[in-house]
């Protein structure tokens, strides 16, 4: 099949879905009201609660939910063939991920911008709130430590990305100041910021900066410490100073990168060289249920509910903006995942240089990279497949390979940085809500809560030499993240039942996700038992039991609401 045809089919499906299913949810189910005051206005504090133009908030939301998820997931899942990956990426955002993100955003927005974990206290009971907050803390704990490590690895792999990524900070601070304090024109300031950003990319391509190890630490571990310190300050600053403008610039960077890849798809329109299906790939886990765990952010991801209810719900200016930000953001992420599939199943076949310098093309190139699950599973391997394919597409219409590689490297590191910042800020909210519920407001202070978020991640990272401690728990992350998606849909279902709305569009995806990812968790637990991995076995069982407990509590409450036994009270 031609890669251009595949991309166009998926993109048209997203466009139709946004203007039909998305608007049905917005107007008929949630009844978004432009005159209803949002938390950004009601609780405005110029730190976390700050109304943002929907284009700016879309940039923050999209870059926060995306990160490296829609890149590394499809880049490994295509080992099962391009058809299963493309189908999940096409249908998942429309019927599962978009609903998940949109419902989480609206439910939080209608309830003072509280996190989805805190929301369960009003929807279900206080026990489930603590269960949910523990699961969320565990996920974010891993995310902060692992993404700081990933950024360190990427800086070490692609030193040409160091200068552009760090220069993005002063550019973003300048943009935020000009827009919010000087009343500058959003479009003009954005254009200047993006031009400056790409000037730094060109400089970085020919001026790589390699950081040596300091104080006995490896270069990667040194970067990890620097990045955690940076995350502390970035996550305590008011959102308008750095978070919003930096993510807005990143969104432009992403759209430009996606446009460059799409132009390459138009010009080169390479044939897909990967097999349609490869169900029994060497060394790979079973496609059912692991396809739905490996491809998370490109279709549905529990982390998105944390962003929707953690930061985005506090910045919605007018309720109708939630459709563009929540549902539209998920569809855009699916578009990115689609282009990754094109890069790793078609463009990789244009030219692939092996370690010995041999240049492979066509099916031989794909088979060399995806010879086995082990060969394609490492971070470097996943990213190289994407970068090689992307650089090939850009090179097809004259962009030098060095510039193309730098554009993709900066793109990858910037998105990892956005995830790190947002996860740290959300963890601060979670810790703050937890201590507030315990009657310890002094520990909910943003400085103390952020310090606890960063310090616990530091302890996890350096539980193993070289800052790789998070890798110990990483095998659990995928299933925990997707089970969290199922639980977020469960909360959304309870919310809809509570306000007397149809529940089917959230309940059906919920059942699917809880079944598939619960199945995957059971298989992982069995693997940990067979390999005598006591730590992962113990944590996996605990998390799984917490999830089962919460499901039981929520189902009991759901039955009560559906029977008409309880009124809406404070839930809106």
Alpha-carbon torsion (429, 432, 436, 437), positive or negative? positive
CB proximity list for 473: less than 8 A, separation 6 or greater: 142, 460, 536, 539
Structure tokens at 94: 């429309």
What is the distance between the alpha carbons of residues 77 and 370, in angstroms, rounded to a whole number? 10
What is the distance between the alpha carbons of residues 262 and 386, in angstroms, rounded to a whole number? 14
What is the distance between the alpha carbons of residues 466 and 149, in angstroms, rounded to a whole number? 9
Three-class secondary structure assignment of 1-66: CEHHHHHHHHHHHHHHHHHHHHHHHHHHHCCCCCCCCCHHHHCCCCCCCCCECHHHHHHHHHHHHH
Work out the number of other CB atoms within 10 angstroms of the CB of residue 46: 11
Alpha-carbon torsion (314, 317, 319, 322), positive or negative? negative
Peptide bond into 508 cis (omega under 30): no
Alpha-carbon torsion (29, 34, 36, 40), positive or negative? positive
What is the distance between the alpha carbons of residues 513 and 525, in angstroms, rounded to a whole number? 18
| Backbone torsions φ then ψ of 2, nearest 5 degrees | -80, 135
Work out the number of other CB atoms within 10 angstroms of the CB of residue 36: 15
Kindly provide the b/e burial profile for residues 222-250, where b requires at least 16 CB atoms within 10 angstroms of the residue's own CB. Answer: bbbbbbbebbbebbbeebbbbbbbbbbbb
HSE on the CB side for 500, CA within 13 Å?
7
What is the distance between the alpha carbons of residues 148 and 302, in angstroms, rounded to a whole number? 20
HSE on the CB side for 50, CA within 13 Å?
18
HSE on the CB side for 534, CA within 13 Å?
0
DSSP SS3 for 470: helix
β-pairing, 359-360 vs 352-353, is antiparallel
What is the distance between the alpha carbons of residues 316 and 54, in angstroms, rounded to a whole number? 7
Q: Are 478 and 294 in contact (CB under 8 A)?
A: yes
pLDDT tens digit at each of 572 positions of the chain: 899 999 999 999 999 999 999 999 999 999 999 999 999 999 999 889 999 999 889 988 998 888 788 888 999 999 999 999 999 999 999 999 999 999 999 999 999 999 888 888 888 877 788 888 888 899 999 999 998 998 998 898 889 999 999 999 999 999 888 988 888 888 898 889 989 988 998 898 888 899 888 888 899 999 999 999 999 998 898 888 887 788 888 878 878 888 999 999 999 999 999 999 999 888 899 999 999 999 998 999 999 999 999 899 999 999 999 999 999 999 999 999 999 999 999 999 998 888 788 889 999 999 988 988 887 766 677 778 888 899 899 999 998 887 888 888 888 888 888 889 889 999 999 899 889 888 888 888 889 999 999 999 999 999 988 888 888 888 888 899 998 999 999 999 999 998 889 999 999 999 999 999 999 999 999 999 999 999 899 999 988 898 888 889 888 888 888 887 555 444 55
């Amino acid at each position: 099949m031609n890669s251009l045809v595949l991309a166009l089919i998926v993109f048209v499906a997203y466009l139709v879905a946004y203007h039909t299913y998305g608007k049905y949810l917005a107007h008929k189910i949630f009844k978004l009201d432009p005159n209803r005051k949002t938390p950004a206005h009601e609780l405005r504090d110029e730190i976390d609660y700050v109304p943002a133009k929907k284009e700016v908030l879309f940039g923050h939301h999209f870059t926060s939910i995306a990160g490296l998820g829609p890149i590394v997931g499809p880049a490994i899942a295509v080992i099962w063939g391009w058809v299963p990956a493309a189908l999940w990426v096409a249908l998942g955002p429309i019927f599962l991920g978009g609903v998940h993100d949109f419902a989480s955003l609206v439910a939080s927005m209608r309830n003072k911008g509280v996190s989805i974990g805190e929301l369960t206290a009003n929807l279900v009971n206080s026990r489930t709130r603590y269960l949910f907050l523990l699961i969320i803390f565990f996920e974010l704990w891993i995310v902060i430590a692992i993404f700081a490590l990933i950024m360190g690895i990427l800086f070490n792999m692609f030193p040409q990305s160091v200068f552009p990524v760090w220069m993005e900070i002063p550019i973003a601070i300048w943009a935020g100041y000009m827009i919010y304090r000087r009343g500058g024109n959003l479009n003009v300031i954005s254009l200047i910021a993006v031009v400056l950003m790409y000037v730094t990319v060109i400089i970085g391509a020919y001026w790589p900066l390699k950081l040596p190890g300091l104080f006995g630490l490896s270069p990667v571990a040194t970067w990890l410490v620097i990045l955690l310190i940076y995350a502390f300050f970035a996550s305590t600053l008011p959102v308008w100073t750095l978070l919003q403008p930096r993510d807005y610039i990143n969104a432009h960077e992403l759209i430009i990168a996606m446009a460059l890849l799409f132009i390459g798809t138009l010009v080169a329109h390479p044939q897909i060289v990967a097999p349609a299906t490869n169900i029994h790939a060497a060394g790979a886990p079973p496609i059912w249920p692991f396809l739905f765990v490996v491809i998370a952010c490109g279709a549905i991801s529990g982390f998105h509910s944390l962003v929707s209810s953690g930061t985005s719900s506090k910045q919605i200016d007018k309720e109708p903006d939630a459709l563009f930000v929540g549902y539209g953001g998920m569809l855009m992420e699916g578009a990115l995942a689609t282009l990754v599939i094109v890069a790793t199943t078609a463009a990789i076949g244009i030219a692939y240089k092996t370690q010995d310098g041999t240049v492979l093309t066509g099916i031989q190139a794909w088979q060399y990279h995806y010879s086995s699950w082990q060969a394609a599973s490492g971070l470097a391997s996943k990213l190289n497949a994407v970068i090689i394919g992307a650089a090939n597409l850009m090179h097809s219409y004259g962009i030098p390979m060095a510039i193309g590689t730098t554009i993709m490297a900066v793109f990858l590191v910037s998105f990892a940085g956005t995830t790190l910042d947002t996860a740290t800020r959300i963890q601060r909210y979670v810790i703050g809500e937890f201590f507030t519920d315990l009657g310890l407001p002094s520990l909910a202070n943003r400085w103390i809560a952020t310090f606890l978020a960063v310090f616990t991640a530091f302890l996890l990272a350096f539980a193993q030499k070289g800052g790789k401690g998070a890798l110990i728990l990483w095998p659990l992350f995928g299933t925990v993240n997707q089970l969290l998606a199922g639980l977020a849909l469960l909360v959304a279902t309870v919310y809809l039942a509570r306000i007397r709305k149809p529940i089917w569009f959230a309940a059906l995806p919920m059942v699917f996700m809880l079944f598939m990812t619960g199945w995957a968790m059971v298989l992982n637990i069995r693997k940990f038992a067979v390999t005598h991995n006591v730590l992962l076995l113990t944590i996996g069982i605990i998390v799984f039991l917490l999830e089962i407990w919460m499901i039981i509590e929520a189902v009991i409450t759901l039955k009560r609401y559906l029977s008409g036994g309880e009124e809406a009270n404070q839930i809106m």
